[in-house]
Structure 1
Amino acid sequence: MDPPIPESIREQLGHPVLVRRLDSSPRSEVFLLEFGGRPAIVKHITSGPDRTERYQIEVAALRLAGRVEPRPVAALLATDATARVLVLEYLGGARAATEPWAVRYATALARLHSTPLSAGGAEIPRYRGPGPDDVEAFLRLARRLGVTVPPSAETELMAALERLADSGDEVLLHGDPCPDNAVATDEGIRFVDLEGARRGPGVLELAYLRIGFPTCWCVKALPCAQLTAAENAYRDTRRSPASGIEDACVSWLIQGDALVERARRRGADHLAQLPSRDWEWGTATARERLLHRLSVVAALAGDHGPLAATATLTSEMESAVKRQWPRLSALPATNDDPLTDPGLRPNHCA
């Protein structure tokens, strides 16, 4: 299928020559083209009732983040709102890096989160995280696993969500900062596919490194030393303490939507399905994702006074999951890019 290149874009960039079609989500088409002999990526947002909104969000996010130096996103070369087509710079392969992938990823994420929002971006909505229904669904799962819920657990979980919402840290979030949306270049990692961009606390995406890339098919765990170095690189680059990692991890733990791919989110209680069935998604099953997140929150909350009951709850849920499904594997660990590095032996970080 030939890419739909509107006349307005042809007038700006010249005659397009198709190189090949690239993998993309079911709701868009992505192509590698050449304009005047120079490669570029063309993205056509094709389907979904929110396709116009997604196009507007991505254009706004790319324009805002494109003002940051070093740039944390692919440069936006041309757009056509009627056709919902974006043309972006082609990001070529990078030379061998001297820093671990996780550190380069966290640095790029911090640059993205440093995007000044005062310059515009009214099209970018605020992040909508889990709420009371998600807390109730998580506690129902605990009871179905045979775990006694501490009386103060519900209050603690709601308080964690409220602390995130009231943190005052409103940044440009990517919305889906997965390894396959993070392209290595000689200038550092650059992000693509920002149609899910939101305004919200940066720690929600910093938590991806610790909680295991919760919205991604390529979920993997990081060695402890790399995790620490990456989180330090993020805080140094943003020049911010980026506090609240415990609350952010709690937020990802209780989200059933973070157990399925984007097309299946919103509309079902995925946590309720776990006792009766498991399903594969990428590099881990849903139960394996849950097990990893429980272990992360249990370790973090144990050192965090406001989450004392949550630490007890998640620790007991972790033990119950292991007893009920003893053949579950820990997330594969990675020493490098999660997309290319083979899974290593199980990894646990406190």
Structure 2
Amino acid sequence: MESILQAAGELVGGELSGPVDLGGSSRSTVLRCRTAGGGSVIVKAFGNEPESLRCFTAEAAGLSLGISAPEVLGVDPRVPLLVMADLGNAPTLADVLLGNDPALAENGLLAWARALGALAAGSVHRRADLARLWSRYDKGMPSWEDEPWTARNAAALPALLGGAGVRHPAGLDEELSRIGTAGGDVHPAFTPGDTCPDNSLITPEGLRLIDFEAACYQSVFLTAAYCRMPFSSCWCVFALPAGMAAEIEQAYRAEVVGVYPALAEDEVWQAGMRQATAVWTVDATVRLLPRVMEDGPLHPSRRPAPTRRQVLRHRWETASGLEEYPALAETMRSLLREVAGTWEVAPLPPYPAFANRGR
């Protein structure tokens, strides 16, 4: 801790004190520290494991683009760490979704979708800038854009199905090949990577995004799917009221059609969204299916939180109607019958903020 404070103090030109742990992760430590002038800053220090080093490079490069993010006050690649402006104790989107004010939650969702869309639209022509910044803070790890995670997930799914006793339908391999190639080259735009509710601060100046550890350029559809599913890779997954997912998806889409006019065509948009839904469903299945033998909440401490089984069943139900991927849809229906059918688990409940509002 002493070495972190000293290095961070050198970046901002003054001693830092009173560190408060804001709850980082296994990859990083996040602290709110007092400055000599009576203000405060956020210090984020990373470990020296390969994944931590990649997250540092992504965070430093992504934040340095200066789009919808806290201001970067200094970066020290040696530690490695960075210092950024403190956005205060604003509630997160997760806080309001798990609260009891439906209007605040709905407004927060719309603000989140618009902010993501504006970030994407404002970044389309800055891909070279991110590459330059990545090189500046490079720690020898491949960028997230070079990480073949969609192909890796697609390749892993058949063995998992076999282990679960689920039949491998004809045509699935071809569909998984298509799903595995989805990524950054179809209408690419910048994303912080982890655009989950607890990384979205509702400040008096508007919604601000934090946590750029997976910053990269990827297809806008992979980001927009967070509106439809909702929150494709996150823990804060509950059911939305009828029509609300479509409303926030449209809020995102309205921001990006200005830079990608083809996305105004429903045929183009819907095809991209169905593929993204397939990508994220395969991702959830590969991540969570091996861990459902002993069910438990997706978050170690936040409550309420859905269980792994609740989220998997919800994802499989969503993907069971993907007409463009009939073999995958059949696989999802088999998983629902032969795997989820044995689970004694309650259906995914609504977000607490909308608990008394119809789905």
Shared topology, TM-score over 0.5?
Answer: yes
Q: In the alignment, is the contact (CA less than 8 A) between 1:209 and 1:222 conserved in 2? A: no
Query: What are the ranges of 5 or more consecutive residues in structure 1 without an aligned counterpart?
Result: 260-269, 335-340
Q: Which residue does 1:85 correspond to in 2?
A: 81
Q: Which residue does 1:338 correspond to in 2?
A: none
Query: What are the ranges of 5 or more consecutive residues in structure 2 without an aligned counterpart?
Result: 92-102, 135-142, 264-268, 300-304
In the alignment, does 2:211 pair up with 1:210? no
| 1:104 equivalent among 105, 111, 116 | 111
Q: Which residue does 1:170 correspond to in 2?
A: 188
Q: How far, CA to CA, are the matches of 2:327 and 2:51 in structure 1?
A: 40
Percent identity between the two aligned chains = 26
Deviation at 1:97, TM superposition (A): 5.4
Kindly report which structure 2 residues correspond to 1:265-284, keeping only aligned pairs within 5 A, or say none: 271-272=289-290, 274=292, 276-282=293-299, 283-284=305-306
Q: In the alignment, is the contact (CA less than 8 A) between 1:6 and 1:83 conserved in 2? A: no
Q: Give per-residue Cα distances to partners, 1:91-133, cap 9 Å, x unaligned.
A: 1356995952221111121223232223243424405354565
Distance 1:216 1:11, change over 3 A: closer
Deviation at 1:139, TM superposition (A): 3.6
Q: In the alignment, is the contact (CA less than 8 A) between 2:27 and 2:51 conserved in 1? A: no
Q: Which residue does 2:273 correspond to in 1?
A: 245
Specify the SS of the correspondent of 1:17.
Answer: strand
Distance 1:179 1:256, change over 3 A: closer
Q: How far, CA to CA, are the matches of 1:294 and 1:319 in structure 2?
A: 10
Q: How far, CA to CA, are the matches of 1:113 and 1:256 in structure 2?
A: 24
Q: In the alignment, is the contact (CA less than 8 A) between 2:231 and 2:237 conserved in 1? A: yes
Q: Which residue does 1:264 correspond to in 2?
A: none
Distance 1:8 1:210, change over 3 A: closer
What number of residue pairs does the alignment pair up?
A: 320
Q: How far, CA to CA, are the matches of 1:212 and 1:79 in structure 2?
A: 34
Q: In the alignment, is the contact (CA less than 8 A) between 2:28 and 2:52 conserved in 1? A: no
Specify the SS of the correspondent of 1:121.
Answer: helix
AA at the equivalent of 1:250: A
| 2:355 equivalent among 319, 344, 347 | 344
Distance 1:19 1:142, change over 3 A: closer
Normalised to the residue count of structure 2, the TM-score between the two structures is 0.77
Kindly report which structure 2 residues correspond to 1:1-350, keeping only aligned pairs within 5 A, or say none: 1-2=1-2, 4-6=4-6, 9-10=9-10, 12-18=12-18, 20-35=20-35, 36-64=37-65, 66=66, 68=67, 72-92=68-88, 100-114=107-121, 115=123, 116-122=126-132, 123=134, 124-126=143-145, 128-131=147-150, 134-135=153-154, 137-142=156-161, 147-162=166-181, 164-165=182-183, 167-239=185-257, 240=260, 241=263, 244-255=272-283, 259=287, 271-272=289-290, 274=292, 276-282=293-299, 283-299=305-321, 301-302=322-323, 306-325=324-343, 327-334=344-351, 341=352, 344=355
Deviation at 1:61, TM superposition (A): 0.4
AA at the equivalent of 2:153: D
Deviation at 1:85, TM superposition (A): 1.9
Q: In the alignment, is the contact (CA less than 8 A) between 1:332 and 1:347 conserved in 2? A: no
Q: How far, CA to CA, are the matches of 1:8 and 1:101 in structure 2?
A: 33
Q: In the alignment, is the contact (CA less than 8 A) between 1:130 and 1:251 conserved in 2? A: no
More helix by share: 2
Deviation at 1:60, TM superposition (A): 0.7
Q: How far, CA to CA, are the matches of 1:85 and 1:134 in structure 2?
A: 31
Q: How far, CA to CA, are the matches of 1:345 and 1:155 in structure 2?
A: 43
Q: Give per-residue Cα distances to partners, 1:132-187, cap 9 Å, x unaligned.
A: 6533543444455555443122212322333x237532222222222111111123
Specify the SS of the correspondent of 2:50.
Answer: coil
Deviation at 1:329, TM superposition (A): 2.4
Specify the SS of the correspondent of 1:189.
Answer: strand
More deviation, 51-60/4-13: 4-13
Q: In the alignment, is the contact (CA less than 8 A) between 1:10 and 1:16 conserved in 2? A: no
Q: How far, CA to CA, are the matches of 1:182 and 1:4 in structure 2?
A: 26
AA at the equivalent of 1:73: A
Distance 1:84 1:133, change over 3 A: closer
Q: In the alignment, is the contact (CA less than 8 A) between 1:127 and 1:199 conserved in 2? A: no
Q: How far, CA to CA, are the matches of 2:197 and 2:60 in structure 1?
A: 21
Q: CA RMSD in A?
A: 3.1
Q: How far, CA to CA, are the matches of 1:44 and 1:11 in structure 2?
A: 13
Q: Which residue does 2:95 correspond to in 1?
A: none
Distance 1:257 1:25, change over 3 A: farther
